[in-house]
């Protein structure tokens, strides 16, 4: 911490306000930085030390260029750590520093309390530094080029994680005893027959039922022979466990995966997190912190932060307005069956049950929700209309994005689709012994949006570099199923009509 005496006092003052507001946060360490330091740290994702990689250099160039040419500047950056680290830009005027501090305390509260952050490491600064040291050391030993190339391959797969696996047990780990247990079952069980008296047997175990049971068990047998037995969404984990990698490669892959899981909750809660912080900074600023002459500067700054420019959705704005909306609705009781079934405009306009639970509700929401559930639960038709939301889609004939709909249902569906899985496609490992040749089969669960094909091809090549045997990706392009296959030297593609489905086994290449 290198704050001036005044700023340090200010920090204590804001902290006291934040506590008064009911925020419960990790302590925050503020660092005063020059713009260049801020750009450097921001390029590294907010961390002072990361592993060496050109991608950070690229980010740095972009940030410093846009700062130099006056296109944008960073005014707030905070990292999820205990204590939280936040950065203040030394050239900012006092009113901005106040705003940033208030904003940061709310972020810290969110990091600490939101459920989806509970699995993240709170010693991330140290861990990132360790990862950096480790990868540097690996570079020394195995060649920086090799390490960087392998990192590139891993980073190109970094979104293939299962973001909910930290909260759900996806699979029961097989142990020797459970594996043999099933064989102990008695003969009748093996046929799936339900125990019954002889004269009832025909009714309790009719032929169709037995057939179904048999199918089910055959399926189960097949499943057990398959590898992996169930589709695996955590592709990185699967590669980490089963790909033939050298130890140093495994180590790099593990680091990339770990960091991906660390960052995942931040993109899962972008709207909420920013909304929450904006809600509290505006409340604290207008309530206590601004002096009379600062209020205009604050208003100016705040409005440009939450401005919805050029048709884009601004997470700050949406989050902030939704939190305010929730507070108002739960203050006046505008929710629940009674409210929804009421269709008299005038009654609705003056609806107030005196519930006064707004504040309590938003605190609950910030604890229990992520962006998907947040939008799903709290986005209302009135809200969409008020903020002029629309769904857009790409029109291939005009080559432009066009407004597709202003219907509430469409907007909500589209918004949820773009937030689900962090806006990433669902990709599964379905078979690691495809064609009994040890080839890896990935399946894209098609939900209406196609993959970017050129990227998919190159990404598949990267999967192949890690798996080392040929790899396949099944997806849908232009209404047709398509199988991309990369065997390390070349990429082949095969197409089929979706209704017929792909041949379950690969055709022999002749």
List the interface residues with another protein, window 123-152 (CB under 8 A): 129, 132, 148-149, 152
Long-range contacts of 9-16 (CB under 8 A, 24+ apart): 10/94, 10/97, 10/98, 10/101, 11/101, 13/289, 14/98, 14/101, 14/102, 14/105, 14/284, 14/289, 15/105
For position 282 contacting another protein by CB under 8 A, the verdict is no
Q: Which stretch binds another protein (CB under 8 A): 193-201, 287-295, 388-396, 490-498?
A: 388-396
Cis before 83? omega within 30: yes
Minimum CB–partner distance for residue 31 and another protein (Å):
7
Query: Which residue among 119, 406, 480, 492 contacts another protein (CB under 8 A)?
Result: 406
Q: Which residue has the tokens 């309390």?
A: 113
Cα–Cα separations (whole angstroms), residue 423 to 276, 406, 420, 447: 21, 21, 6, 12
Q: Is the dihedral of CA 18, 329, 361, 373 positive or negative?
A: negative
* 263 is a contact residue toward another protein (CB under 8 A): yes
Whichever of 358 and 486 has its CB closer to another protein, that residue is 486
What is the dihedral sign for C-alpha 362, 364, 370, 375? negative
Q: Build a one-symbol-per-residue string for 17-56: x at contacts with another protein by CB under 8 A, - elsewhere.
A: --------------x-----x--xxxxxxx-xx--xxxxx
Ordered DSSP codes for 226-270: SSSSS-BS-HHHHHHHHS---HHHHHHHHHHHHHHHHHHHHHHSH
Question: Is 247 within 8 Å of 134 (Cβ atoms)?
Answer: no
- Is 2 one of the binding residues for another protein (CB under 8 A)? yes
State the first-to-last Cα distance of the chain, in angstroms, to the nearest integer.
69
Q: Which of 391, 432, 466, 483 binds another protein (CB under 8 A)?
A: 391
Considering beta carbons, is residue 354 or 478 the nearer one to another protein?
478
In the 8-state DSSP scheme, what is residue 286?
A: I
Report d(CA 336, CA 317) in Å as an integer. 25
Binding range to another protein, per CB under 8 A, among 63-71, 189-197, 202-210, 225-233: 63-71
Stretch that binds another protein, among 8-16, 158-166, 192-200, 202-210 (CB under 8 A): 158-166
**Interface of this chain with another protein, residues 284 to 323, rule: CB under 8 A:** 301, 304-305, 308-313, 316
Does 489 interact with another protein (rule: CB under 8 A)? no
* Rounded CA separation 124/128 (Å): 6
Sequence-distant (≥ 6) Cβ neighbours of residue 495 within 8 angstroms: 477, 480, 481, 482, 483
Which one of the spans 205-213, 245-253, 423-431, 485-493 is the region binding another protein (CB under 8 A)? 423-431
Among 109, 234, 274, 294, the residue binding another protein under the rule CB under 8 A is 274
> Distance between CA 19 and CA 25 in Å, rounded?
9
Interatomic CA distance for residues 34 and 39, integer angstroms: 9
Give the integer Cα–Cα distance in Å for 106 and 196.
63
**Is 424 near another protein (CB under 8 A)?**
yes
CB of 460 to another protein, least distance (A): 8
Binds another protein (CB under 8 A): choice among 191, 194, 342, 403: 403
Piece of the chain touching another protein by CB under 8 A; list 288-296, 324-332, 424-432, 486-494: 424-432
380 touching another protein, by CB under 8 A? no
x/- binding map, residues 90-129, to another protein, per CB under 8 A? -------------x-------------------------x
Span interacting with another protein, options 174-182, 264-272, 328-336, 499-507, rule CB under 8 A: 264-272
Residues 452-481 that bind another protein (CB under 8 A): 452-459, 462
């Amino acid at each position: 911490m290198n704050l001036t005496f005044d700023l340090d006092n200010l920090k204590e003052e804001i902290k006291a306000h934040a506590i008064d507001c009911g925020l419960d946060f990790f302590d925050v360490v503020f660092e005063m930085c020059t713009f260049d330091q801020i750009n450097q740290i921001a390029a590294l994702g907010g961390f002072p030390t990361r592993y060496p990689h050109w991608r950070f250099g690229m980010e740095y160039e972009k940030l410093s260029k846009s700062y130099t040419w006056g296109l944008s500047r960073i005014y707030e950056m905070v990292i999820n750590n205990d204590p939280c680290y936040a950065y203040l830009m030394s050239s900012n005027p006092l009113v901005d520093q106040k705003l940033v501090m208030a904003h940061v305390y709310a972020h810290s509260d969110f990091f600490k309390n939101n459920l989806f952050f509970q699995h993240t490491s709170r010693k991330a600064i140290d861990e990132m530094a360790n990862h950096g040291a480790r990868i540097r050391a690996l570079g020394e030993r195995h060649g920086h080029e090799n390490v960087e190339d392998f990192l590139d391959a891993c980073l190109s797969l970094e979104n293939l994680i299962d973001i909910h696996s930290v909260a759900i047990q996806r699979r029961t780990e097989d142990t020797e005893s459970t594996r043999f247990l099933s064989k102990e079952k008695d003969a009748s069980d093996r046929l799936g027959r339900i125990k019954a008296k002889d004269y009832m047997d025909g009714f309790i175990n009719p032929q169709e039922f037995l057939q179904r049971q048999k199918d089910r068990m055959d399926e189960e047998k097949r499943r057990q022979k398959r590898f992996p037995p169930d589709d695996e969404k955590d592709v990185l984990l699967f590669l980490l466990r089963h790909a033939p990698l050298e130890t140093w490669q495994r180590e790099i892959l593990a680091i990339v995966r770990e960091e991906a899981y660390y960052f995942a909750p931040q993109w899962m809660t972008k709207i909420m997190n920013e909304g929450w912080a904006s809600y509290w900074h505006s409340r604290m600023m207008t309530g206590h912190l601004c002096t009379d002459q600062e209020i205009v500067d604050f208003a100016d700054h705040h409005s440009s932060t939450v401005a919805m420019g050029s048709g884009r959705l601004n997470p700050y704005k949406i989050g902030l307005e939704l939190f305010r909306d929730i507070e108002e609705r739960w203050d006046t009781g505008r929710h629940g069956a009674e409210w929804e079934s009421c269709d008299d405009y005038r009654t609705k306009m003056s609806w107030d049950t005196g519930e006064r639970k707004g504040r309590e509700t938003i605190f609950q929401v910030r604890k229990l929700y992520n962006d998907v559930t947040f939008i799903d639960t709290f986005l209302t038709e009135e809200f969409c209309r008020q903020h002029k939301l629309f769904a857009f889609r790409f029109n291939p004939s005009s080559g432009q994005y066009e407004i597709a709909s202003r219907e509430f249902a469409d907007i909500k569906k589209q918004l949820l689709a773009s937030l689900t899985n962090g806006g990433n496609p669902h990709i599964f490992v379905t078979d690691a012994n495809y064609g009994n040749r040890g080839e890896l089969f990935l399946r894209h669960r098609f939900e209406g949006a196609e993959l970017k094909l050129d990227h998919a091809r190159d990404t598949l090549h990267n999967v192949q570099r890690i798996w080392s045997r040929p790899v396949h990706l099944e997806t849908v392009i232009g209404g047709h199923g398509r199988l991309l296959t990369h065997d390390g030297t070349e990429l082949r593609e095969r197409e089929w009509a979706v209704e017929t489905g792909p041949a379950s086994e690969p055709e022999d290449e002749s």
